[in-house]
Amino acid sequence: MARLCVTAVCRESYLHRFLPGELQLDQVLQLGNNNQPDAPPNASLLPGKTRMTDQQITEFSQRYQIVDHHADDATGFSATLLFDTQTNSYTLSFRSVEYALRANGGDYEHDGGPGASGEVGRDGFAFAQLVSMERYYRELKADPARLPAGSALNVTGYSLGGHFATVANRGQVLYLVSIGVLISAQDKEAAAESFAVLPFPISSSHALNTS
């Protein structure tokens, strides 16, 4: 459980500030889900409470490698691919709802009621971000340097991220098609005649675990 907690904090952190060198990794993990440019990483109190302690940062850095990070795109989708050096497995972890407004460093407009969460409430699925999830997975799968074929792949998420992990795991019975509806597996062939069917589940190419 502790292992999943630290990977969860990592995925909620704004890694796009680390990868280009704006901040060091320990600073990004100290900030966690705080994305205000003037926020000091070592501040005892910040608006977002999803942050790592110094000990957790050390333990995380000794065990995990950040393979890839998909920062918020036009739909608001974000995810992080991690490699566990102890188990030789990969974890694709989906970010949850960012409750801060975009003006304050978050992305509530895309994740909250006006966006993906509202879609889930109205329609049962966050269609726009699910399409982004599938595209991102395709990119990873096509690049063995990031995600080798046949490797063990875990998918994790909380809140909105849990929605993505659930859909990825249930792909053997549900297929997302380009018109934005879900159809049953038995209708896949019929739909393929007219629409581009996105090939869920992730487990079709990788050993999949969910949590």
* Nearest-5° Cα angle at 95, 69 to 184: 105
Q: Give the residue with greater pLDDT, 1 vs 132.
A: 132
Q: How confident is the model at residue 203 (pLDDT cuts 50, 70, 90)?
A: very low
Model confidence at 146: pLDDT above 80 = yes
Residue 6 confidence (pLDDT): 85
Q: How confident is the model at residue 152 (pLDDT cuts 50, 70, 90)?
A: confident
Model confidence at 210: pLDDT above 80 = no
Distance separating alpha carbons of residues 176 and 200, to the nearest angstrom? 8
* Nearest-5° Cα angle at 38, 32 to 42: 50
Q: Which residue, 96, 115, 103, is CA-closest to 35? A: 103
Residue for token digits 């249930």?
Answer: 170
Q: Backbone phi, then psi, for 146, in 5-degree steps?
A: -100, -45
Give burial (CB, 10 Å; 0-12/13-18/19+) of 93. Answer: buried
Average pLDDT over residues 44-54: 94
pLDDT tens figures, 76-134: 999 999 999 999 999 999 999 999 999 999 999 999 999 999 998 998 889 899 989 98
As beta bridge partners, residue 152 has 207
Whole-structure pTM value: 0.81
